[in-house]
């Protein structure tokens, strides 16, 4: 599978397709001329918003190292790490991971215990195990056309790798992209993917969006609104997740965790023999 075009547009020009879904049939017959005029005006307004968004991204977009590569393995690693960890914390971990295992073949050949140990602090350890399983599939058979066939790769991660690595015209919709689209009422396409991710992560944030800094604020129906907090995971302290983590660390260090229930749960997830 060959990559062809970049997945996000530069801030200097808007592609002919723009990064908004604007296709609509031109109305003919009675009232057709007026409807066509309205559609043209609406399209021009949308293109203007695209320009503002991409101009903002060119000035304020985050400089993240995985945006400077088209290597699908490196991008897959970044996407899995970002599932539960903020980007700023992922950067040094991603760099260290790629220094240690620079390719899918290198990760595939690594001892699983080392992979889990390197993953500590990045969230659910089974993601590391699935990442290695995916690397083994790639090392043996190459990258599949349907990336969701890889172990642990869901629809969003498949879309992200397809877009950012292989240049496919698909918009990866994470929580930030979804938030911007829902609040603005606009459906964007893949050329605005990274701009939307950064806007949602830094300006159109969950509870109190910074509308005064938003390039889309002028036409946004949600401007000035405040939002209820999203449901959060229960406290970690005293949770079964904490017990699992403690048991896994003990096993990796060669000691007895003395928590049979936690060990059984780790074994069910394939984290221990």
Catalogue the active-site residues. 79
158 vs 273: CA distance, rounded Å? 29
* Cα distances (Å, whole numbers) of residue 241 to 19, 83, 165: 41, 17, 33
Letter string b/e over residues 40-72, b meaning 16 or more CB atoms within 10 A of that residue's CB = eeeeeebbebbbbbbbbbeeebeebebeeeebb
Which residue's structure tokens are 């699983």?
112
CA 132 to chain centre: 19
- Cα angle 272, 235, 262 (rounded to 5 degrees) comes to 20
* Cα distances (Å, whole numbers) of residue 83 to 79, 116, 142: 6, 16, 24
Which residue's structure tokens are 């604007």?
22
CA 87 to chain centre: 10
**Which region, left, alpha or beta, applies to residue 123 given φ > 0 means left and ψ of -120 to 50 means alpha?**
left
100 vs 240: CA distance, rounded Å? 31
Helix (H, G, I), strand (E, B) or coil at 269: coil
Query: What number of CA atoms fall less than 13 Å from residue 249's CA on the CB side?
Result: 9
């Amino acid at each position: 599978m060959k990559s062809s075009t970049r997945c996000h547009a530069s801030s200097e020009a808007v592609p002919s397709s723009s990064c908004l879904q604007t296709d609509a049939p031109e109305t003919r017959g009675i009232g057709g001329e007026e409807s066509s005029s309205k559609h043209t005006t609406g399209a021009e307004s949308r293109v203007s918003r695209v320009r503002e968004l991409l101009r903002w991204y060119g000035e304020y977009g985050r400089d993240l190292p995985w945006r400077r590569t088209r290597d699908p393995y490196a991008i897959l690693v970044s996407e899995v790490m970002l599932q539960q960890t903020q980007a700023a914390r992922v950067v040094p971990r991603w760099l260290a991971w790629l220094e240690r295992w620079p390719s899918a073949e290198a990760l595939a050949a690594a001892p699983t215990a080392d992979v889990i140990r390197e993953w500590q602090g990045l969230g659910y350890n089974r993601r590391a195990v699935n990442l290695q399983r995916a690397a083994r599939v790639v090392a043996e058979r190459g990258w599949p056309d349907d990336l969701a066939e890889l172990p642990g790769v869901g629809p969003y991660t498949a879309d992200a790798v397809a877009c950012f690595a292989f240049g496919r015209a698909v918009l990866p919709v994470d929580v930030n992209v979804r938030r911007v689209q829902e609040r603005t009422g606009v459906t964007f396409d893949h050329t605005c993917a990274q701009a939307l991710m950064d806007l949602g992560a830094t300006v159109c944030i969950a509870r109190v969006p910074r509308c005064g800094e938003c390039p889309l604020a002028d036409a946004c129906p949600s401007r000035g609104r405040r939002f209820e907090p999203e449901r959060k995971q229960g406290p970690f302290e005293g949770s079964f997740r904490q017990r699992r983590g403690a048991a896994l660390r003990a096993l990796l260090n060669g000691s007895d965790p003395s928590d049979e229930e936690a060990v059984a749960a780790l074994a069910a997830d394939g984290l221990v023999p």
